[in-house]
Chain A
């Protein structure tokens, strides 16, 4: 039935099925017979299967019966049983949300079953749609995760909390036990302002379903929602919206206040789709739609942009023309920044578009007209993504060593990001999200002025999240400073986060400089479309949270360097887990420490107190120790020798650094996770748990 789909409108065969389901007279039979002739013996698609119960019910009510209809008896029973299973398993999660103080509203299928005209075998539901207050989305997601649900498509939690709400109104959650819940933080794609749903909440009605007290939208709002949801391209055919809308219009959920529907359509600037939807309902299914409502809507002036926007939403995203894409992006931005009912005048549109494109200042406009300074990875669909001067003003406040550079701070972005940070849709260009900012496309550059010139190597601590899910399991992040490549990181699912990952900025790349140019390359940047999350086609690199520049600590020969909580973080040059009370784990194939030494070269003994991750099923662990690229020793840990005395290796004077900087490295052969060994659910690739290190003069040790 879905063959030949070009847009979200039903195909001719789908229309026959809808007419058989909805028309109240012999035309329903004619449609049914026409459908049988067209289809022959082919199997109906999933969307059609979900409509078959109501076809059976409608034709039976008209006294029509035939062998094909008789074969649909089971469809009613299956629809009822699958709906009951879904509701019995999923509604307890809704109850948990309510118990956690998060109010809920049931939408679409579940709302029909909670309504006064509920017919339990009407159509099959794929999931339970639940609206929660926008500001409660983080808490609601926590409840769902506690209940054992996971985000569909493996979407990262930060994406759902901090990114998706700006572009999509909901995301699906599921588990392996048939629980399917679509969590809505907004009702509509079209209205994602912070106050977009206040009116829906105010008019919602209390209901109880399977003992769970919740709410549903009033019939007019539910009709608005169903039409707008249906008249939008979806990979899975959504033509059953016609059935739902037809039932609502006929009063199955209570009397529809068409005046309210018209007022809502005007206020939310969705007159074009609502008019088209109501006219279609009346034409196709003789639905009792108020003629006065259609007249009112038709007399409303609809801007050309809104008409293009509507047509673009009907079309398959990949077939949208460039003007349709740009119109959607402009309209989304305008819709999010104007409160409900506020008219998008030309001056407001220009002001908002300049903000969206990062062209608030006239010199930004000039730069854009001159080809901009886009940065190599700028996505073609986003002029705004990377426009910037490529440098920052020399007058911006310098950064002190150890001072966190929080990318969630709008001032930080304005001062230090030359290009490549996403222009947030919240406050205008260079405005970050609550926890950081996402980087656009494949390259971003920050220019960091220092309080004093770097005299030696520095350590850069970086906090970032990969944009990963089941379709993309790892992402590369290359870091350069002053055009010198310094690190090539791999962010792997499920360890998708970098938390204070240390990167050495070597003396030769930065010595004497008062300004560091930090370039982040993300060759695997991808759009949510590519990851199958939603239809946003802009490329995202990583979500950058924080940077810290540190000077490595000075180490006095004979002293001990504790690695547990409270240790000098400036020493950790990558490959370490979070500090624990008595030490920390090496994570991955290499962990490094950087310290500064005083004095003349000496033969030293390096001692480190460490325990290996060994197990009866992984009995040996080989660790190589190096200092400033000099291999010092290889140590084999054995499960049979569980209690390990501190390891001691010689560090000859020839390995003594000329510049006093000692970079110690532990290379772990085949690190493994406790999870893989069945020890815990920790999926980090661990090697050694190191508590402390010390350096002693060699002859002193021997004495």
Chain B
């Protein structure tokens, strides 16, 4: 997510092929089919995931969440970068740069 200390906000998210995700009772559940571990996202995280799954850049996701929840842009960017970092750490997503190349 971060390149030289900078967040690559032009990147898009690619879900791992070894996961399945579904919204159940207002929360998103993500299952890692390889490890059998599951994760749940709250309503804001679920909204972020849905936007990311549409192929939007992180910049676009942050902007949409800001307007939808009327939250300060800075706070949304902090939350979104934390979420993406956590998902990457668990191997649930990878990032792709603006030109389609894998992002660091």
A interface with B by C-beta (< 8 Å): 57, 60, 76-78, 80-81, 84-85, 88-89, 120-121
6 additional A-B residue pairs with CB within 8 Å, beyond A80-B31, A81-B36, A120-B22:
A76-B24, A77-B38, A80-B22, A84-B20, A84-B22, A84-B33
**Does B29 sit within 8 A of A, measured CB to CB?**
yes
**Does B101 sit within 8 A of A, measured CB to CB?**
no
Number of A-B residue pairs at CB separation under 8 A = 32
Contact A77 B40 (CB under 8 A): yes
Contact B31 A81 (CB under 8 A): yes
- Among B19-59, those with CB < 8 Å from A are 20, 22, 24-25, 29, 31, 33, 36, 38, 40
Residues of A within 8 A of B38 (CB): 77-78, 80-81
Residues of A within 8 A of B24 (CB): 76-77, 80, 120-121
Residues of B within 8 A of A80 (CB): 22, 24, 29, 31, 38
A507–B36 alpha-carbon span in the complex (Å): 67
Top 3 closest pairs, chain A to chain B, by CB: A81-B38, A121-B24, A84-B31
Majority DSSP secondary structure for residues of B touching A: strand
Contact A88 B20 (CB under 8 A): yes
Known: A77-B38, A77-B40. A85 touches B31 (CB 8 A): yes
Majority DSSP secondary structure for residues of A touching B: helix
Residues of B within 8 A of A76 (CB): 24-25
Residues of A within 8 A of B25 (CB): 57, 60, 76, 121
Q: Can you list 6 A-B pairs with a CB-CB distance of less than 8 A?
A: A57-B25, A60-B25, A81-B29, A81-B31, A84-B22, A85-B36
Chain B nearest CB from A81 CB (Å) reads 4
Which of B22, B29, B33, B40 is close to A85, meaning CB atoms less than 8 Å apart? B33
A81–B22 alpha-carbon span in the complex (Å): 10
A77–B30 alpha-carbon span in the complex (Å): 10
Chain B nearest CB from A305 CB (Å) reads 47
Chain A nearest CB from B35 CB (Å) reads 11
Residues of B within 8 A of A85 (CB): 31, 33, 36
Chain A nearest CB from B31 CB (Å) reads 5
A81–B35 alpha-carbon span in the complex (Å): 12
Chain A nearest CB from B34 CB (Å) reads 10
Residues of A within 8 A of B29 (CB): 77, 80-81
Interface centre among A57, A60, A85 (most CB of B within 10 A): A85
- Among B52-81, those with CB < 8 Å from A are none
A88–B33 alpha-carbon span in the complex (Å): 8
Residue of A nearest to B30 (CB): A81
A568–B22 alpha-carbon span in the complex (Å): 67
A77–B31 alpha-carbon span in the complex (Å): 10
A77–B26 alpha-carbon span in the complex (Å): 12
Residues of A within 8 A of B33 (CB): 84-85, 88-89
